[in-house]
A and B are shown apart, each in its own frame.
Chain A
Amino acid sequence: MPVTQTLRDGAWRVVELITTPVVPADYLDVIAPLRNPTVLRARISDVRPETATAVTLELRPGRGWEPHEPGQYIRVGVDIDGVRLWRAYSVSNAASRKDGRFTITVNAVPDGVVSSYLRYQARKGEIVHLDLPAGDFVLTKPRPAKALFVTAGSGITPVMGMLRSCLSEMPDVVVVHSAKTPEAVVFGAELRELAAAGRIRLIERHTTTEGRLKPAGIAELVPDLLDRETWACGPADLLDDLQEHWSDAGAAERLHVERFRPTVLVAGDGGTVTFEKSGVTTEVPGGTTILDAGEAAGQLMKSGCRMGICFKCVLPMREGIVRDVRDGAITTATEVDGDNVLIQTCVTTAAGPCRFDA
């Protein structure tokens, strides 16, 4: 109805006039945070431990959510000790549940602030921030007649989503999965059940006793592997090995890999700073602030008090590692953080390569 639509739009504009300088949704946020159409959030509706270190969280997304395709990941923003930290996790449930709820499965990694929090501290009812599902690690259409999945550790999560959604469409599926021990296999019971029912061929590799699997080893276990459309997810060195093997065999296009191991950033002294929009690149020595170095390199920098109190000089860091010259505190940013890591350039210096959105 165009008339009611016009009336609603008009009413909304009046509401906007009265909520200025903020938007009506900001008021809605303090009453019903999941109703805000501009900020995607979800409430944790269930917490199910999977193994000693892995947990499955069921999330009920708020307004604005769009269903995922099996294999895709989402970025999740969790407030930990007051700071919002973002990580990417694969969706692990079957696609398109009617109520929109979905699950992510998280394996707590050593020193992993977010994964450890989600495994040991996250509670039902908590609100987390989300981004829409993304990634091209999805099954091809039509579905492959013969499929191979090579996974290690929590790399099984996107594959589990695919199996749960589309196994009935794939007649011949081999899953090669590595985990430290039989108990550490995430979704172990479910996978073994599928294998017992003859729906998949499951090859488990327990690396504590049997060592890591190499592509040659996989080729021995699955002789027709190059005939299979293959999806692989796991640690970077495994994926590197697989990619090399498949390229050498001239079958690179049949291998689909998913990498989201966070980039490892190690604090050093100084680093190369790149301003992406302008293309300016400069070497920043450990004692020089990014503001001074940027100005010296001809980058147009916003600045104010130059002593860390006015916050006029802040720039979003896309990726990199910096050190606060006042107290030595280290701040890192990776792609998964989005635009959320803002750096006071007047009191920070590079502690490694950094890229700024400026």
Chain B
Amino acid sequence: MTTLQRKESNPIAHLSPEDIEEIGRELDAIRDEFLAIRGEKDAAHIRRMIKIQRRLELASRATLMLSVFPPAWILGTAGLAVAKILENMEIGHNILHGQYDFMRDPKIHSTTWEWDHASPAEQWKHSHNELHHKYTNVVGRDNDLGYGIMRVDEQQRWTKAHLGQPLYNLINALLFEYGIAAYDLELGRNLKTKKRRNNPEFRERLRAVGRKIRKQATKDYLVQPALAIPVGLAVGNPVGAFFGTMAATAVANVVRNLWSHSVIICGHFPKGVETFERTSITGETRGEWYLRQMLGSANISGGKLMHIMTGNLSHQIEHHLFPDLPSSQYAQIAPKIKALFAKYELKYVSGPMIVQVASAWAKVIRLALPNREPAREIDHSIPPRHPAEVGAGV
């Protein structure tokens, strides 16, 4: 864990390899405990969420048919934004993780679910479940770190292009779902050479994204506005009704994008979250994998509504430890995880959303500029397997 070892104080210096494996065993025991009680309550939770979300979406879309009237516009837009957030966060993200596969309900299953998002579920599952969750916070392997365009660690080399990263981050936040789609396609890498551009597999994935975006856009920017025309005609303003509704769905989509972007940067960017080097994960044990998840994630504190609206990613640490346990269990798991952090003197990073978002943005802005002092030279010969032998301050 060399990136860790370069820090002023190595957060795991006090842990022996045996300690790390013991942490792994304790976490496995917590996992077993919650697997054993997983059942009806969790199934009822996701069904209830789906029910609320679909009813809210139907009601909001119906309200938007009257969007020529400002109160209906406001109500419909707000409702649709909330419905889209629920659909992406608590429902889509968690179902696509396979958290509710245990129900054996073909309608609520990671292999059949599709979501209200520019990126097709199949591609998102690959880049998120397979890459991000396995290689969490490993610089160069986990593309969620800076999405391949930003500098997120002092150790990354600074170039002039990084000056623009606060702006890139803002644009990414506003268009987040398209950013994710581009990222799932590994657009940066795949557009680089002619050979990669013409790769039939890449082209097929590109077409799939195109189809998905076309359907999503037809729904929100064509059909929904068209449904407002009859009432628009009745009050003599069909054109206003059409474009007013188009603005409403656009606002709902942007609100959803800003919200999910904020939740996600709270997960791995705030102060206190560690990053890891590519070499640090070769031959990684289960205990070390767990430890990386513990140190590489941050929670958002708040009430039940906050947990639901963030898709329980407010329990990012618990989610990263047990990505396949149902989100409905994270709140119950959290106290046990917190106690484990305390026992092993590790830092459980958690804070109110506003503080965490500000902290993440501060990091993005700070790292847009070069480091004040040159990065310390490090000794690559130190085997990452025995971080405790290195001692603090190396």
Residues of A within 8 A of B (CB): 14, 17-18, 20-22, 26-27, 29-31, 39, 79, 81-85, 304-305, 307-312, 314, 326-327, 329, 339-342, 344
Interface centre among A18, A31, A310 (most CB of B within 10 A): A310
Please state if B129 and A305 are interface contacts (CB–CB under 8 Å): yes
Residues on B with C-beta less than 8 A from A305 are: 129-130, 133-134
Residue of B nearest to A344 (CB): B98
Tell me the complex Cα distance, A309–B322, Å: 8
Judging by beta carbons under 8 Å apart, are B54 and A312 in contact?
no
Q: Which chain B residues lie closer than 8 Å to A342 at the CB level?
A: 101, 104, 109, 111
Q: Are A304 and B129 in contact (CB under 8 A)?
A: yes
Which B-chain residue is minimally distant from A129 (CB atoms)?
B105
Q: How far is the CB of A271 from chain B (nearest CB, A)?
A: 22
Q: Which of A22, A29, A85 has the most CB of B within 10 A?
A: A22
Cβ of A8 to closest chain B Cβ, rounded Å: 17
Report the separation of the CA atoms of residues A69 and B102 in the bound assembly, to the nearest whole angstrom: 34
| Chain B residue at smallest Cβ distance from A14 | B223
* Interface presence of B156 (CB below 8 A): no
Contact call A21/B215, Cβ cutoff below 8 A = yes
Assess whether B297 is interfacial by the CB under 8 Å rule: no
Q: Which residue of B lies closest to A86 (CB)?
A: B104
CA distance A326 to B25 in the complex (A): 11
Partner pick for A20 among B51, B126, B216, CB 8 A cutoff = B216
**How distant is the Cα of A30 from the Cα of B49 in the complex, in angstroms?**
11
Contacts of A85 in B (CB 8 A): 104
Contacts A304-B130, A305-B134, A342-B111 given; does A18 touch B101 at CB 8 Å: no
Q: From residue A191, how far is it (CB to closest CB) to chain B in Å?
A: 37
Residue from A20, A21, A81, A329 having most chain B Cβ neighbours under 10 A: A21
Chain B, interface SS category: helix
Instruction: Establish whether residues A310 and B105, one from each chain, have CB atoms under 8 Å apart when the complex forms.
Output: no
Q: Are A82 and B129 interface neighbours, CB within 8 A? A: no
Contact B105 A84 (CB under 8 A): yes
In the bound assembly, the distance between CA atoms of A27 and B55 in angstroms comes to 8
For the complex with contacts A311-B129, A312-B126, A342-B109, 11 further pairs of A-B residues with Cβ separation under 8 Å are A17-B215, A18-B224, A81-B40, A83-B104, A310-B130, A310-B133, A311-B101, A311-B324, A329-B35, A342-B111, A344-B98
Report if B340 contacts A (CB, 8 A).
no
Residues of A contacting B42 with CB < 8 Å? 82
Contacting residue for B134 out of A18, A307, A311, CB 8 A: A307
> Which of A27, A39, A81, A341 counts the most B-chain CB atoms under 10 A from its CB?
A81
1/0 contact trace for B185-207 toward A, CB 8 Å? Answer: 00000000000000000000000
Q: How far is the CA of A314 from the CA of B39 in the complex (A)?
A: 20
- Beyond A17-B223, A27-B54, is A83–B111 a contact (Cβ under 8 Å)? no
How close is B105's CB to chain A, nearest CB, in angstroms? 5
B93 at the interface (CB under 8 A from A): no
Q: Using CB atoms, name the residue of chain A closest to B32.
A: A327
How distant is B221 from chain A, measured CB to nearest CB, in Å? 11
Annotate B257-289 by CB proximity to A: 1 below 8 A, 0 otherwise. Answer: 000000000000000000000000000000001
Q: Are B54 and A30 in contact (CB under 8 A)?
A: yes
Per-residue contact bits, chain B 215-240, to A (CB 8 Å; 1 contact, 0 not): 11011000110010000000000000
The interface of chain B, by Cβ under 8 A from chain A, is: 28, 31-32, 35, 38-44, 50-51, 54-55, 58, 61, 97-98, 101-107, 109-111, 114-116, 125-126, 129-130, 133-134, 212, 215-216, 218-219, 223-224, 227, 289, 323-324
- Chain B residues whose C-beta falls within 8 Å of the C-beta of A307 in the assembled complex: 134, 289
**B219 engages A18 (CB within 8 Å):** yes
Cβ–Cβ contact B129 & A310, under 8 A: yes
Q: Are B110 and A82 in contact (CB under 8 A)?
A: no
The 5 closest A-B pairs by CB, nearest first: A82-B43, A311-B98, A310-B129, A21-B114, A81-B39
Q: Is the CB of A312 within 8 A of B125?
A: yes
User: Which of A14, A82, A310 is within 8 Å of B40, CB to CB?
Assistant: A82
Give the complex CA separation of A27 and B51 in angstroms: 8
Which one of B101, B103, B134 lies within 8 Å of A79 (CB-CB)? B103
The answer on a CB contact under 8 Å between B125 and A17 is no
A-B contacts, 18 of them at CB < 8 A, read A14-B223, A18-B219, A30-B51, A79-B40, A81-B40, A82-B42, A304-B126, A305-B133, A307-B289, A309-B97, A309-B133, A309-B134, A309-B323, A309-B324, A311-B98, A311-B111, A312-B129, A326-B31
Given contacts A311-B129, A327-B32, A82 and B101 within 8 Å (CB-CB): no
Q: How far is the CA of A339 from the CA of B105 in the complex (A)?
A: 11
Q: For A344, what are the chain B residues with a Cβ–Cβ distance below 8 Å? A: 98
- Complex CA–CA separation, A311 to B58 (angstroms): 31
Q: Which of B104, B218, B289, B324 contacts A340 (CB 8 A)?
A: B104
Please indicate the chain A residues that have their CB under 8 angstroms from the CB of B102 in the complex.
82-83
Complex interface: chain B residues within 8 A of A84 (CB): 103-105
- Residues of A within 8 Å of B39, CB to CB, are 81-83
Beyond A21-B114, A79-B43, A304-B130, is A26–B104 a contact (Cβ under 8 Å)? no
Contacts of A20 on B, CB cut-off 8 Å?
A: 215-216, 218-219
Contacts of B51 in A (CB 8 A): 30
A311 touching B125, Cβ below 8 Å: yes
Are A82 and B216 interface neighbours, CB within 8 A?
no
Q: Across the interface, which residues of B come within 8 angstroms of A26, CB to CB? A: 54, 107
